[in-house]
Amino acid sequence: MTGVITRATPVPSPGLPGRVRIYEVGPRDGLQNEQGVIPVEVKEEFVRRLLAAGLPVVEATSFVHPRWVPQLADAAELMSRLGDDGRDCPVLVPNERGLDRALELGLRHVAVFASATETFAAKNLNRTLETQLEMFAPTVERALAAGIDVRAYVSMCFGDPWEGPVAPEQVVEVGQRLLAMGATELSLGDTIGVGTAGDTRRLIEVVGRDIDRSLLAGHFHDTYGQALANILVALQHGISVIDSAAGGLGGCPYAAGASGNVATEDVVYMLNGMGVDCGVDINALVAASTQIFDHLNREPASRTMRALLAKHHNVI
Ligand code: HMG
Ligand code: MG
């Protein structure tokens, strides 16, 4: 075969973290956006395979209102089936009702999700910018009191389909409020994937004036094909936690035009090539993604996954 590439030795790039923590969101962000409902046993196997592939964090599902996200209405059953193996998998909770459901199952990590814009707060949470925070405050307080770790998302960090460009200062304002509540990590979401490398640099620089960069994560959807470029810039600017979804699953049912998250395989391939450790076995990851895409009966968005499955190249 022509064009065979073998990468035996990574080529390190200066200014990058030595290690990146990949925060896998495929089972939650990915599957929340699928048309059909995936059987719970398929989800369980997916999560187990992702954990076995070495992903340090797998966000498994959401304890939101089942009418709002029917695709994840089986959240309690999924987490019960995972048992001890899923105890450290974070789940989304928008409010105290969601937290109660997570507490009943003995879960140890939850994530609240705020919007940087007024319109998306209304569309996604049925709240205003201010009342979304009023909903999170007691949720976070009770979670912390119960010894549960809380991550916080800020969505629409670059642009919003209803309001247009979003000023970084709006992100700082919401992010600081969430951290003041006690969240331990702030994931900056390009929910509709409109940011480019310059936007990413500017956002991190502005947010980084008030918030320690070690608390930040990057959550890039790949709608315009910019996610890997944004991730590289984020890594060069002190971010070392990256959200991604196996195979490039994903989207948000309440954000028109939002496509999948950056594919975990593509991130792992890039990190491996640059000698940045992430602890993920790419072959086991591809096997996990293959199981779910076979079930969905469609091609993965991940270019790395498609290349590896087509055996065009002999890589890594
Ligand atoms: P609401 O209609 O305002 O709810 O929805 P409410 O507080 O008025 O309560 C109404 C009823 O819902 C009550 O029941 C509650 O108990 C029940 P009733 O008394 O009428 O029988 N209820 C619940 N039931 C189960 N679980 C719950 C829950 N909460 C209330 N947690 C609500 C407000 C927040 C619940 C709703 O808007 C919602 O569930 N939204 C979730 C939307 C969502 O999941 N979006 C996708 C995730 S965000 C995302 O993808 C972006 C991200 O990836 C980052 C990025 O990309 O930028 C994170
Ligand atoms: Mg998302």
Tell me what the pLDDT averaged over the chain comes to: 94
Ligand 1 contact via 64 beta carbon (within 6 Å): yes
Is the model's pLDDT at 67 over the cut of 70? yes
Q: Which of 134-148, 184-198, 295-309 has the lowest mean pLDDT?
A: 295-309
Supply 179's token pair: 């951290």
Supply 137's token pair: 């405050």
Confidence of residue 252 (pLDDT cuts 50, 70, 90): low
Mean pLDDT of 5-13: 72
Which residues have C-beta within 8 Å of that of residue 309, sequence separation ≥ 6?
A: 286, 290
Question: What's the pTM value of the predicted model, to 2 decimals?
Answer: 0.96
In Å, how far are 20, 206, 224, 270, 271 from 93, measured between CA atoms? Answer: 25, 28, 29, 32, 31
The yes-or-no answer on residue 252 being catalytic is: yes
Which residues have C-beta within 8 Å of that of residue 164, sequence separation ≥ 6?
A: none
Is the model's pLDDT at 108 over the cut of 60? yes
Ligand 1 contact via 80 beta carbon (within 6 Å): no
Confidence of residue 9 (pLDDT cuts 50, 70, 90): confident
CA 94 to chain centre: 16
Q: Which of 137-141, 231-235, 253-257 has the lowest mean pLDDT?
A: 253-257
CA distance 258 to 249: 11
Largest CA distance in the chain: 60
Q: Which of 221-230, 248-257, 294-303 has the lowest mean pLDDT?
A: 248-257
195 alpha carbon – ligand 2 mean position (Å): 14
Comparing C-alpha atoms, which of 19, 212, 207 is closest to residue 116? 207
Is the model's pLDDT at 285 over the cut of 80? yes
Is the model's pLDDT at 199 over the cut of 50? yes
Mean pLDDT of 135-151: 98
Is the model's pLDDT at 306 over the cut of 90? yes
- Give the number of the atom of ligand 1 that is nearest the alpha carbon of residue 25: 53
Is the model's pLDDT at 83 over the cut of 70? yes
297 alpha carbon – ligand 2 mean position (Å): 22
Mean pLDDT of 268-296: 95
94 alpha carbon – ligand 1 mean position (Å): 6
Predicted local distance difference test score (pLDDT) of residue 2: 39
- Ligand 1 atom 23: the closest Cα is on which residue? 65
28, 29, 64: residue to mutate for ligand 1 pocket, most atoms within 8 A of CB: 64
Number of H helices, E strands in the chain: 11, 11
Q: What are the DSSP calls for 141-186, one per residue?
A: HHHHHTT-EEEEEEE-SSEETTTEE--HHHHHHHHHHHHHHT-SEE
Predicted local distance difference test score (pLDDT) of residue 51: 98
CA distance 24 to 263: 10
Is the model's pLDDT at 316 over the cut of 90? no
Predicted local distance difference test score (pLDDT) of residue 311: 75
- Point out the ligand nearest to the CA of residue 195: 1
Confidence of residue 4 (pLDDT cuts 50, 70, 90): very low
Q: Which of 81-85, 99-103, 178-182, 294-298 has the lowest mean pLDDT?
A: 294-298
First to last CA, the chain: 17
Predicted local distance difference test score (pLDDT) of residue 196: 98
Look at strands 159-160 and 149-155 and give their pairing.
unpaired
Supply 286's token pair: 């591809």
Ligand 1 contact via 126 beta carbon (within 6 Å): yes
User: Which amino acid, residue 3?
Assistant: G
Look at strands 159-160 and 164-165 and give their pairing.
antiparallel
68 alpha carbon – ligand 1 mean position (Å): 6
- Ligand 1 atom 17: the closest Cα is on which residue? 65
Ligand 1 contact via 113 beta carbon (within 6 Å): yes
Confidence of residue 7 (pLDDT cuts 50, 70, 90): low
- Point out the ligand nearest to the CA of residue 32: 1
